Structure 1
Amino acid sequence: MKHVTPVIFVTLVLAGCSSATTPLRQNAQITQFAGGESNTDRTSFYWLTEKLNNPESSTDDVKFADNTWYQSHYTWDGNYLREITRVGERRNNSGDKVPFQMTLRFSQAGEAVYQRMQINGRVMPMKNGQIGEVRSQAGEVVSKSRSQRNEGLSLIQGHWKDGVFTTCNGDEYRNIQFKQPLPKLLVDRIKEEENFAAFIGELGGKKIVVDQMLLLKHGGYACIERPMFNG
């Protein structure tokens, strides 16, 4: 999300009032952040909770182009990753979607002291390469969240209706700027139809600057919540 060429802004002026909120909520020494990214392969949403500038927990919600998905919860002890819980659907060798769930626990030295992978109801062993890949993904959620936060970006989501963009927090905006130009057909759709949108952007006074569009759905699509895991 770093731009090395001059940024072209496309502005949408929407009817309605404006108000701004900070995307980073602070409670004593605990901070929470929501971000995400999208490419041709997948769309990812992630959440990070930190205490005293160290990760306490993180979560992701990843949807792939082939209609598979997973959600993960990562538990941290300072900068040490202690547990990963993941559920989702993946493709088997026949191309069918099957459910899976995974639990990994690590020692302070980083050794996987417990592992359990269940695919379509069958317990399967995990290879070291698989464990390493999932650990790497856990670290990326933290590093990418921090990077976006440092750039002043965060996850913004809400609904366009009757020319007004209303965030999921209930704030209304009429001045929306896009760093990447959108096709006119899409701009007209945003202005004239009811849509749900989720994007990475920046709140500033009475305007929103969109860095990357993650999701655009027609109609009253529900706001995306941080996945909850039991235990």
Structure 2
Amino acid sequence: MKKILSSFIAATLIAGCSSSVDTSNFTQMSQFSGGQRTGDATSYYWYTESASQALSASDHVTSETYGWYETSYRWDEGSVREVVRKGEQLKDGDLVPYTAHVRFNKDGEAVYQQYRVNKKILPLNEGQLERYVLEAKAITKMTKDQNKQGLELIQGYWDGSTFERCNGPDYNKVEFNHTLPNFVMSRLSTLDNYIGFLGKIRNNTVYIDELLILADDDHDCIERPLLITE
């Protein structure tokens, strides 16, 4: 560590002696997260931008009826240029695996597409292609709108007295939205649970605004899908 620090200081001094540091190439990355519950489907969202320009997004969507999927989206020069999705969908009464991979050119035309359902290669129609792009854009709007309300996607484990955030610290102060149903409040007060919700953390207190998922404590934390290789 000392060698690394010394090298960094030396490099900084040399740069300072030769010329002023050019910060024009440094851009700030902004990270957003959010989610929603619609019917029996629960969605987690993540979005990244730089200098107000979209870079990437991801989703993880589960439905008690229709299966699940997760997606990665990539932008370039303001347009959605690549989408990769994998999951399971309902087909003939069974859940079968599927994957989709689409690349778009700068004019929004699909120049590459591969869609597999249960190992069979099928075509994607224009409606499906358009839906991928619309879903990507919807993620950017929803996560930024929720961020303006001070909300973010938070996951962790609650034992009735302590909230252990996924990959984060523990919190002893938790405030629940009073509109939660009584049976939910009862379960939260008596059982160990995994919870995913829209909320915020302020002054070492966790505020749960909208509960998205309530599950047993053996439920894994859901990480942001990264399906597109750089």
- Aligning the two structures, in what range does the TM-score lie when normalised by the shorter sequence? 0.7 to 0.9
Q: 1:90 to 1:28 in 2, by over 3 A?
A: same
Normalised by the length of structure 2, the TM-score is 0.81
Query: What does residue range 50-129 of structure 1 map to in structure 2 within 5 Å?
Result: 50-92=49-91, 94-129=92-127
The one-letter amino acid paired with 1:76 is W
**How many aligned residue pairs are there?**
204
- Distance in 2 (CA, whole Å) between partners of 1:195 and 1:143 is 30
Equivalent residue number for residue 204 of structure 1: 202
Compute the displacement of 1:140 (Å): 0.9
Equivalent residue number for residue 179 of structure 2: 181
1:31 aligns with 2:27: no
Q: 1:38 to 1:130 in 2, by over 3 A?
A: same
- Distance in 2 (CA, whole Å) between partners of 1:167 and 1:98 is 33
Deviations 1:146-177 (A, max 9, x none): 11112111011111126111212433333333
Equivalent residue number for residue 142 of structure 1: 140
Deviations 1:170-225 (A, max 9, x none): 33333333335223332232122211111001222132222210111122432221
The one-letter amino acid paired with 2:194 is F
2:150 counterpart SS class: coil
Higher helix share: 2
Equivalent residue number for residue 221 of structure 1: 219
The one-letter amino acid paired with 1:40 is G
Q: Structure 1: which 5+ residue stretches go unaligned?
A: 1-26
The one-letter amino acid paired with 2:158 is W
- Distance in 2 (CA, whole Å) between partners of 1:196 and 1:41 is 18
Q: 1:161 to 1:28 in 2, by over 3 A?
A: farther
- Distance in 1 (CA, whole Å) between partners of 2:142 and 2:63 is 19
Compute the displacement of 1:28 (Å): 5.7
Structure of higher CA gyration radius: 2
Give the aligned CA root-mean-square deviation in angstroms: 1.9
Higher relative contact order (CA 8 A, sep 6+): 1
Q: Structure 2: which 5+ residue stretches go unaligned?
A: 1-25
Compute the displacement of 1:122 (Å): 1.1
- Distance in 2 (CA, whole Å) between partners of 1:162 and 1:176 is 10
Deviations 1:38-96 (A, max 9, x none): 1213100111111122111111111112150111110111321100011111122x222
- Distance in 1 (CA, whole Å) between partners of 2:40 and 2:186 is 27
Q: 1:180 to 1:38 in 2, by over 3 A?
A: farther
Normalised by the length of structure 1, the TM-score is 0.81
- Distance in 2 (CA, whole Å) between partners of 1:224 and 1:180 is 26
- Distance in 2 (CA, whole Å) between partners of 1:115 and 1:67 is 23
Contact 1:40 1:65 in 2 (8 A): no
Contact 1:165 1:173 in 2 (8 A): yes
Runs of 4 or more above 6 Å deviation: none
